[in-house]
């Protein structure tokens, strides 16, 4: 589905992504893990068209999509969520979902497409779609709640819900479990698995929670210092010496830094 070839993203002299090559197979739930600062979010941002790459190539189903802007990728079915949820806090949960297709195609195009008379019908269809999504995510009781009042975990579910308002093919989830309690994390995990099995979504998931990664993802790709360090099944990866070293390495460096000895 997605192939990334020898990708570099430099910020000045700093190589945040330093020659990474990955493949995300159609129908997979691919995990992307690695210590803080490994370049995971930067890699996502380049794939999703938020940041231009310094060099390298990204293809989707064989088509070169390197550097395409997010709305073009959106129309191709490539969607992402953000590490920090970015809901419209004063709007309701249902309204937030209804915004997704319109927000991406632009208000003018939207009106031109449906014409003035058809906007009301279209709104009804969007509301019905939003309610279906909320039902799927088991948060239908929150439809009329202001999004700003949701818990962190509920906001993450709403982020996932946004990807369900259109026909997504491949979805990039950046730390969808961060700050989320166990129960909600399971709800999010279940929704991902069901979207994968029942609707054919391909996922690439960045997450620090290893239980979550182990339960959902095959394969798991490990990044460290901008490079791909290892790839394989979750249980193999977690016993891989280089991977353990990469995690311990940063842990040790941070500890020494905190103690003022490095």
Query: Could you list the residues that contact ligand ATP (CB under 6 A)?
Result: 11, 14, 16, 34, 36-42, 83
Query: Which residues, 6+ apart, have CB-to-CB distance to 119 below 8 Å?
Result: 111
63 binds, among Mg ion, ligand ATP, none (CB under 5 to 8 A by kind): none
Q: How many residues bind Mg ion (CB under 5 A)?
A: 1
Proportion of the chain in helix, strand, coil states, percent, rounded to 5: 45, 25, 30
Choice from 41, 66, 96, 187 touching Mg ion (CB under 5 A): 41
Asked if 42 is part of the footprint of Mg ion (rule: CB under 5 A), the reply reads: no
Minimum distance, C-beta of residue 40 to Mg ion, in the bound complex (Å): 5
Query: CB of 29 within 8 A of CB of 237?
Result: no
The side-by-side arrangement of strands in the sheet containing 63-64 is 14-24, 2-11, 55-60, 63-64
Minimum distance, C-beta of residue 45 to ligand ATP, in the bound complex (Å): 7
Query: CB of 202 within 8 A of CB of 61?
Result: no
Q: How far is Cα 140 from Cα 135, in angstroms, rounded to an integer? A: 5
Map tokens 């909320």 to a residue. Answer: 134
16 binds, among Mg ion, ligand ATP, none (CB under 5 to 8 A by kind): ligand ATP
**Between residues 145 and 225, which has the closer beta carbon with respect to ligand ATP?**
225
Query: CB of 17 within 8 A of CB of 38?
Result: no
Map tokens 């803080």 to a residue. Answer: 36
37 binds, among ligand ATP, Mg ion, none (CB under 5 to 8 A by kind): ligand ATP
Kindly list the distances between the CA atom of residue 227 and the CA atoms of 41, 42, 135, 143, 186, in Å, as whole numbers in the listed order.
Answer: 13, 12, 40, 42, 30
Minimum distance, C-beta of residue 250 to Mg ion, in the bound complex (Å): 13
70 binds, among ligand ATP, Mg ion, none (CB under 5 to 8 A by kind): none
Kindly list the distances between the CA atom of residue 65 and the CA atoms of 23, 49, 57, 62, in Å, as whole numbers in the listed order.
Answer: 14, 9, 8, 9
Minimum distance, C-beta of residue 39 to ligand ATP, in the bound complex (Å): 4
Q: How far is Cα 181 from Cα 157, in angstroms, rounded to an integer? A: 12
Q: With CB under 5 A as the contact rule, which of the stretches 15-23, 38-46, 193-201, 208-216 interacts with Mg ion?
A: 38-46
31 binds, among Mg ion, ligand ATP, none (CB under 5 to 8 A by kind): none
Minimum distance, C-beta of residue 245 to ligand ATP, in the bound complex (Å): 17
**Between residues 41 and 202, which has the closer beta carbon with respect to Mg ion?**
41
Kindly list the distances between the CA atom of residue 182 and the CA atoms of 85, 152, 153, 179, in Å, as whole numbers in the listed order.
Answer: 18, 12, 10, 10
Minimum distance, C-beta of residue 246 to ligand ATP, in the bound complex (Å): 11
Q: Give the binding site for Mg ion (CB under 5 A).
A: 41
């Amino acid at each position: 589905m997605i192939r990334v070839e020898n990708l570099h993203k430099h910020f000045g002299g700093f190589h945040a992504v330093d020659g990474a090559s990955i493949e995300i197979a159609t129908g997979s739930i691919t995990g992307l893990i690695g210590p803080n600062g490994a370049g995971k979010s930067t890699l996502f941002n380049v794939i999703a068209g938020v940041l231009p790459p310094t060099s390298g190539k990204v293809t989707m189903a064989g088509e070169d999509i390197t550097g395409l802007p997010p709305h073009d990728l959106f129309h191709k079915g490539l969607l992402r969520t953000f590490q920090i949820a970015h809901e419209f806090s004063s709007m309701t949960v249902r309204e937030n979902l209804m915004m997704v297709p319109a927000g991406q195609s632009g208000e003018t195009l939207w009106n031109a497409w449906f014409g003035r008379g058809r906007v009301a019908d279209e709104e009804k269809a969007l509301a019905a779609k939003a309610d279906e999504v909320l039902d799927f995510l088991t948060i239908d009781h929150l439809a009329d709640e202001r999004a700003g009042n949701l818990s962190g975990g509920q906001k993450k579910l709403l982020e996932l819900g946004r990807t369900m308002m259109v026909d997504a093919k491949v979805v990039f989830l950046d730390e969808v479990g961060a700050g989320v309690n166990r129960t909600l994390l399971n709800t999010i995990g279940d929704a991902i698995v069901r979207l994968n099995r029942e609707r054919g979504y391909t996922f690439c998931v960045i997450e620090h929670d290893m239980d979550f990664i182990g339960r959902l993802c095959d394969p798991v790709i490990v990044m460290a210092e901008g490079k791909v360090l290892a790839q394989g099944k979750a249980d193999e990866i977690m016993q891989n010496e280089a991977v353990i070293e990469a995690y311990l390495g940063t842990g040790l460096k941070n500890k020494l830094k905190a103690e003022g000895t490095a």
